[in-house]
Amino acid sequence: MPEGDTIYRAAATLHKALAGHRVVRFESVFPALTRVHEDRPLTAMTIDSVQAVGKHLLMHFSGALVLRTHMRMSGSWHIYRSGERWRRASRDMRILLATADFEAVGFNIHVAEFIAEKDLARHEALSRLGPDLLGATFDRTEAVRRLREQASIPIADALLKQSVLAGLGNVYKSEALFACAISPFVAVKELSDEQLTALVEAGRQLLQANVAVSSSGLVPDAGSRRTTGRDSPSERLWVYGRARLPCRKCGATIEVRKQGLDARLTYWCPNCQGS
């Protein structure tokens, strides 16, 4: 599943290309979206902004209308110049939204809906989200409080709950736990407030470091994620995806285990973090 940095990158790219421009074409395979377009044509609107909220992408239109999409495991947004050949098959297209200069194409998107701007605050999925790790108004105290409420479950499972922390995914879960030398399997109640605060800060800092805007105005893509600070592509991450390889700090063998109801893979160093 795309993590918060992936959605942030998509939103930043879409915003840069589309914001302030009028919609000239809209298509969708979702009947509910098509019905809204027929009743309130998007081609009479401009795109005001595109933002990421946790793992949700929100596209705001001038008619006080918002398109919410969620990528789930395989969805993605691409941006193309008008007439440019798509890099994905047309059968995978779920949403097409074009301006005079660009086409935004949502491929294999599973969740998409229009929401009235006035209803965003009480939207079921959005209102349940915990503090957004990449949000401008991130509330660290609230994040720790929500983690503390998950007292009996393993910390790795708690970190993935979007109602606790919005935007954190499996890669940064493993990397933040390693950075703080905390076992993924210890129950939340066994950790101090200082440890929970350190974890929250580690997750936030890792995400922020991987969406920092470059001098070209672009943010790095998911393939260049780095948590080690090292430039070599083979040394980008501390533990994630490195099962059976030596720990970069102590040399012990990195282990991997399925964890939680969704059997997400957790990577950790049994020496640096305990087993």
**Do residues 225 and 5 lie in contact, with contact meaning Cβ atoms separated by under 8 Å?**
yes
Q: Using alpha carbons, select from 111, 4, 16, 100 the residue that is nearest to residue 67.
A: 111
CA distance 252 to 262: 27
2 is catalytic: yes
62-79 burial code (b ≥16 CB/10 A, e <16): ebebbbbbbbeeebebbe
CA distance 170 to 274: 19
Which is the catalytic residue, given 2, 131, 154, 184? 2
Q: Using alpha carbons, select from 65, 63, 75 the residue that is nearest to residue 6.
A: 75
- Residue 105's φ and ψ, nearest 5 degrees, are -120, 125
The angle subtended at Cα 234 by Cα 229 and Cα 240, nearest 5°, is 75
Which is the catalytic residue, given 3, 103, 175, 255? 3
55 is catalytic: yes
Which is the catalytic residue, given 16, 27, 38, 55? 55
The angle subtended at Cα 124 by Cα 118 and Cα 130, nearest 5°, is 100
Catalytic residue IDs:
2-3, 55
